[in-house]
Amino acid sequence: MFAHYFELGLRSLRRNPALTALMVMAIGFGVAASMITYSVFRAVSGNPIPGKSSQLFIPQVDAWGPQQNLANNEPAEALGYIDAMALLRAHAAKRQTMLYQVQLAAMPDGNRDLPLTANGYAVTSDFFSMFDAPFRFGGGWSAQDDDARATDVVISGALNQKLFGGVNSVGRTVDFSGHDYRVVGVLDHWNPRPRFYDLFTGANSFADEPDIYMPFARALDLHMYTAGRNSCRGTISFTNWQAYTQSNCVWITSWVELDSPAEVTRYRDFLTHYAAGQQHAGRFDWAPNVRLRDVVQWMDYEKVVPPESRIALVVALGFFLICLVNTIGLLLAKFMRRAGEIGVRRALGATRGEIYEQYLIEAGTVGLAGGVLGLLLTALGVSGVGILFQPQIARLAHLDASLVGLTLVVAIAATVLAAFYPAWRAARVQPAWQLKSS
């Protein structure tokens, strides 16, 4: 019976072309608007490291005090040199890394006569394993290399392509900004978005892949000032690197990997003890005020998802709701117009259930047609998202199998849902009434 009703449904699409076109368009536009905004929302709010997001935590220690903290007495979003070095030395977590942005240049050599940008991060050895960075050649450096302030460097696949034509360059030497570095690893394409590990420098959330990763200790040795954000409080009086590191300026992001709730509790206690120790020593004039957020909590706190894409999603859902209300009305008109036909079928022995079924299936065909139109509009819209949103974000929004499936399913399910009431009205048509007056 399904095939027959489906065929009837397809045929009835042609019966009231204007009414049908209206419905198909309403569903098509509604579902497309929702899906386009959803694809953008999905692109910006996705978990960048799904497997480990609940094991990676960002410790924060209040070194500014209640008078100079952020709103709601929130401590600074990064660490200053003193606290970063103390946490690094304490090594209270299984794995931990410190990182900040550096800006270097690959100096000209035989093949190139102009320098190339080589921007990236100063990190510690655990960085690569903590964040699951995939290597094409070689690997990261060791904890001993960290201590030895090695001149190692890990470069991106893209920079490897530019410098070495894509061949295995492990062991080769590169001159970055006048200092020689030994390539120990080449990454595959790796650019988690948003760049959760450096939300402190917010402008980078959706930026292109970094070019290099170098040992944190080496960067400090070279007195490399951060190329990312730097935030200070009070009066600034430093004039050299030494004084800068002793100032209250924050610029280093710290991450720890903690596997169990017990470890999280232990690390939080450690942070509190550390802050209490600083208070005791007279460096902090306030009670311990620490935070330990995981990746998702940190992204939420840093408001990574642009509010406009959230509002757009809500508006698009409202839009879809209106389209459905519209469809209920139009389906009602379409079905009740055929009251006479229903009366004849009922008089010939069709049960209410059968009428109900037939009209639900007919609504399903309308939904299918609307879904197909919606799919076309979605494809059009997703490719045009770049006009509306930042290109970096727009590039993330794309039409994949799951979005295609979702579009069709949502269109059909919503239309069938909308048809419950009109089909129920159709099934309740009194045969005698209709036969009498036609």
Partner 1 sequence: MNLQIRPVLIALRRHKAGTVLIALQIALTLAIVCNALFIIHQRLANLSVVSGVDEADVFVITNQWATDSPTPQVDAQVKADVLALRQLPAVLDATPASGYPLQGGGWDNPVTMTPEQIKPSTDSAVYLGDEHFIDTLGLKLIAGRNFRPDEVTVFGTQQAIYPPTVIVSKALADKLFPDGNALGKGIYPMSPTPTTIIGIVDTLQRQGVDQDSNTYAGQSLIWPLRSADSRGVFYIVRARPGQLADAMREAPKALIALSRQRIFDPQNGIQDYATIRRKAYDSDRGMAILMGIISVVLLAITAAGIVGLTSFWVGQRRKQIGVRRALGARQSDILVYFLTENFLISTAGVVLGAVLAIAFNLWTETRFAMAPMSMTYVGIGVLVLLLLGQGATFAPALRASRVPPVEATRSV
Q: Site residues (CB under 8 A) for partner 1?
A: 18-19, 22, 25-26, 29-30, 33, 37, 67-68, 103, 105, 107-108, 113-117, 177-178, 202-203, 222, 224-225, 227, 229-230, 232, 234-239, 244, 306-308, 310-312, 314-316, 318-319, 321-323, 325-326, 328-330, 332-333, 336-337, 387-390, 421, 425, 437-438
Task: For the CB of residue 270, give the shortest distance to partner 1 in the complex, in Å.
Answer: 30
Nearest alpha-carbon partner for 189 in 141, 140, 136, 152? 136
Instruction: Give whichever of 271 and 410 is closer to partner 1, judged by the CB atom.
Output: 410
Range 164-171 contact pairs with CB under 8 angstroms and sequence separation of 24 or more: 168/137, 168/138, 169/137, 170/137, 170/138
Instruction: Give whichever of 105 and 276 is closer to partner 1, judged by the CB atom.
Output: 105
Task: For the CB of residue 76, give the shortest distance to partner 1 in the complex, in Å.
Answer: 14
Task: For the CB of residue 325, give the shortest distance to partner 1 in the complex, in Å.
Answer: 5
Instruction: Give whichever of 213 and 244 is closer to partner 1, judged by the CB atom.
Output: 244
Q: Cα–Cα distance between 365 and 349 in angstroms, integer?
A: 25
Task: For the CB of residue 368, give the shortest distance to partner 1 in the complex, in Å.
Answer: 19
Instruction: Give whichever of 306 and 364 is closer to partner 1, judged by the CB atom.
Output: 306
Range 106-112 contact pairs with CB under 8 angstroms and sequence separation of 24 or more: 106/159, 106/162, 106/163, 106/174, 106/175, 106/176, 107/175, 107/176, 107/177, 107/178, 109/175
Instruction: Give whichever of 22 and 49 is closer to partner 1, judged by the CB atom.
Output: 22
Q: Answer yes or no: are the C-beta atoms of 257 and 54 closer than 8 Å.
A: no
Q: Cα–Cα distance between 225 and 248 in angstroms, integer?
A: 15
Instruction: Give whichever of 167 and 315 is closer to partner 1, judged by the CB atom.
Output: 315
Task: For the CB of residue 242, give the shortest distance to partner 1 in the complex, in Å.
Answer: 12
* CA atoms within 13 Å, Cβ hemisphere of 228: 26
Tell whether omega for the bond before 194 is within 30 degrees of 0, i.e. cis.
Answer: yes
Task: For the CB of residue 239, give the shortest distance to partner 1 in the complex, in Å.
Answer: 6
